[in-house]
């Protein structure tokens, strides 16, 4: 079968919206502005742009899942969190593509980046904030743009995915410490015994707390993928620049190794030892 056999295919788009129009492809495909003449800078730009698009969808899904859990609409939240895990898998695969670039190739255009760095990704910070990892010093990076700074400040002060999950435990009748339920949301979440006790009971009584059990497993999936992403990021950076400082001034591999030790949902990992 050939194209001419498909009589129903639309070909006249003088007055109609095309695929490219709908996706605004002119803007997207013309947003790659190399600052050097080096071939591999195109790879570097596109990998990071694609990752930012996936991060945008991740934020969209996590925020919706957070609202759904707060309203006890668990089925919708599970769908969204499963999608986030699939997105994370895609972002991890992107590091494999970037790793095809050698140190010598990266050095050909690295100086053109100035102080620009993935460390400054505001969408990645919004994901961290949504997962309860609050780092106030990073907000200073975005003071250049008042509107963006305000958006990040609101995300920084808002309850995250784990906050509403802990509230769901309390609504189900578990005895959660009041200082957890009323904690300062601008602080990075730290493990609490009452929360760990609640999750332990959920895992020991799966049939009685199926929704909470499923929620716990979705959160573990998300954190597992997040840590795999962090590890692949660290190893890709080490492979390309070794232990040099990042362009944004961070310690590079040293910083990336340090954040690997952080847990977003610590009790859900501790409970595995207790069971």
**Which residues are annotated binding-site positions for heme?**
233
Task: Decide if 33 contacts 51 (C-beta within 8 A).
Answer: no
Q: Rounded to whole angstroms, what are the CA distances from 119 to 24, 61, 135, 139, 171?
A: 28, 22, 13, 12, 38
Backbone angles phi, psi at 105, to 5 degrees: -70, -40
- Which residues belong to the annotated binding site for substrate? 44-48, 106, 110, 247
Task: Decide if 132 contacts 264 (C-beta within 8 A).
Answer: yes
- Which residues belong to the annotated binding site? 44-48, 106, 110, 233, 247
Q: How far is residue 26's CA from residue 22's CA, in Å, rounded to a whole number?
A: 10
210-241 helix and 266-274 helix, angle to the nearest 10 degrees: 110
Is the sign of the CA dihedral 119, 87, 161, 257 positive or negative? negative
Q: Each residue of 194-204: b (16+ CB within 10 Å) or e?
A: bbbbbbbbbbe
Which ranges constitute the DSSP H helices of the chain? Answer: 19-23, 25-29, 41-70, 74-98, 103-107, 122-130, 146-157, 161-171, 178-181, 193-204, 210-241, 253-259, 266-274
Q: Which residue has the tokens 């990076």?
A: 141
């Amino acid at each position: 079968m050939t194209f001419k056999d498909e009589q129903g295919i639309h070909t006249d788009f003088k007055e109609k919206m095309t695929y490219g129009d709908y996706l605004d492809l002119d803007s997207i495909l013309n947003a790659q502005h190399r600052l050097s003449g080096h071939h591999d800078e195109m790879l570097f730009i596109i990998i990071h742009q694609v990752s930012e698009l996936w991060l945008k969808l991740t934020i969209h899904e996590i925020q919706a899942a957070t609202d759904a859990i707060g309203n006890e609409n668990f089925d919708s939240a599970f769908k969204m969190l499963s999608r986030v895990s699939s997105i994370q898998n895609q972002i991890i695969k992107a590091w494999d593509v970037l790793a095809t670039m050698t140190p010598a190739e990266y050095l050909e255009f690295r100086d053109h980046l100035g102080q620009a760095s993935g460390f400054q990704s505001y969408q990645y910070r919004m994901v961290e904030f949504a997962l309860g990892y609050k780092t106030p010093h990073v907000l200073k990076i975005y003071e250049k743009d008042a509107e963006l700074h305000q958006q990040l400040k609101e995300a920084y002060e808002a309850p995250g995915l784990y906050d509403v999950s802990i509230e769901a435990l309390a609504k189900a009748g578990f005895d959660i410490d009041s200082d957890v339920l009323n904690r300062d949301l601008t602080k990075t979440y730290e493990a609490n015994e009452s929360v760990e006790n609640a999750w332990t009971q959920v895992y020991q009584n799966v049939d009685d707390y199926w929704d909470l059990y499923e929620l716990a497993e979705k959160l573990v999936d998300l954190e597992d993928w997040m840590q795999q992403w962090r590890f692949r990021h660290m190893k890709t950076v080490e492979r390309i620049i070794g232990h040099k400082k990042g362009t944004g001034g961070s310690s590079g591999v040293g910083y990336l190794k340090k954040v690997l030790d952080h847990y977003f949902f610590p009790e859900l990992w501790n409970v595995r030892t207790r069971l």
